[in-house]
């Protein structure tokens, strides 16, 4: 894509949804860290169902420690990999209490020190809570970046680096939300719904599905 095409790509996404937000539900920075950590290899819908009652009872790392690993497992047992995720959440809560006064840090370097928090999770927290211009490359963004030609790369890190370089202002703050939502609802993994995509003329994907399959 050319610079002009990239600007138009995001202009259309912004026109359609001026203020996109994560679909995860949370009330503070700590709950956001927990929700994103739980969302690995799980859907936002599934995480939200599990965390509604949890977050009604737990708002701080100290409260999570008081709930304990077994108590946490009861809340999140419907989420995949819940045993290891529970261990990580308790461990990251302990680290936040011990070294950060119970507060969520606002740098990537500190966030990735937390058990179960990788670069993607850190980028989500930095963007959604701290308003930093980060690009959290999940499977949707990886697919959309490569498929459309916006940001091609063989790894999430390569796609992130391309997005850092290519996404223009004033779109940088919301870019990763637009790309996630576009990948989740339009540029789907199995069959991209090109027939209803507003970006189809800008996209370099060679196998566009321009007619809606029968029965869909």
128 is in an annotated binding site: no
Q: Which of 181, 215, 196 is nearest to 17 (CA)?
A: 181
Give the Cα separation of 211 and 55 in Å (integer). Answer: 43
Contacts of 98 (CB under 8 A, 6+ apart): none
> Can you spell out the DSSP letters for 20-79?
---SS--SSHHHHHHHHHHTTTS-HHHHHHHHHHHHHH--SHHHHHHHHHHHHHHHHTTS
CB 89 within 8 A of CB 37: yes
Give the Cα separation of 63 and 24 in Å (integer). Answer: 21
Q: Specify the pTM.
A: 0.90
pLDDT tens per residue, range 183-203: 999 999 999 999 999 999 999
pLDDT tens per residue, range 87-116: 999 999 999 999 999 999 999 999 999 999
pLDDT tens per residue, range 21-37: 999 999 999 999 999 99
187 is in an annotated binding site: yes
Residues annotated as catalytic are: 120, 138
3-state secondary structure of 96: helix
Euclidean distance between the first and final Cα of the chain, in Å? 30
What is the token pair recorded at 47? 């995480």
| CA of residue 153 relative to chain centroid, distance | 18
pLDDT tens per residue, range 121-169: 999 999 999 999 999 999 999 999 999 999 999 999 999 999 999 999 9
Give me the helices (H) in the chain, please.
3-16, 29-38, 44-57, 61-76, 82-100, 108-111, 119-128, 139-148, 156-166, 175-185
């Amino acid at each position: 894509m050319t610079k002009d095409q990239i600007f138009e790509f995001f202009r259309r996404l912004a026109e359609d949804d001026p203020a996109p937000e994560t679909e995860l539900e949370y009330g503070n920075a700590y709950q956001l860290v927990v929700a994103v950590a739980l969302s690995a290899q799980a859907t936002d819908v599934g995480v939200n169902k599990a965390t509604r009652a949890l977050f009604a009872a737990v708002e701080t790392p100290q409260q999570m420690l008081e709930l304990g690993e077994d108590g946490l497992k009861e809340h999140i047992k419907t989420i995949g990999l819940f045993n290891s995720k529970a261990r990580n959440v308790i461990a990251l809560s302990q680290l936040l209490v011990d070294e950060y006064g119970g507060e969520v840090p606002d740098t990537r370097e500190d966030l990735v020190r937390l058990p179960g928090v990788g670069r993607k999770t850190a980028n989500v927290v930095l963007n959604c809570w701290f308003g930093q211009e980060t690009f959290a490359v999940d499977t949707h963004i990886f697919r959309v970046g490569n498929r459309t030609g916006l940001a091609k790369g063989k790894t999430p890190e390569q796609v992130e680096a391309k997005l850092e370089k290519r996404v223009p202002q004033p779109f940088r703050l919301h870019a990763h939300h637009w790309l996630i939502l576009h990948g989740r609802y339009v540029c789907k993994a199995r069959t991209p719904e090109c027939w209803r995509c507003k970006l189809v003329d800008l996209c370099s994907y060679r196998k566009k599905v321009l007619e809606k399959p029968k029965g869909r």
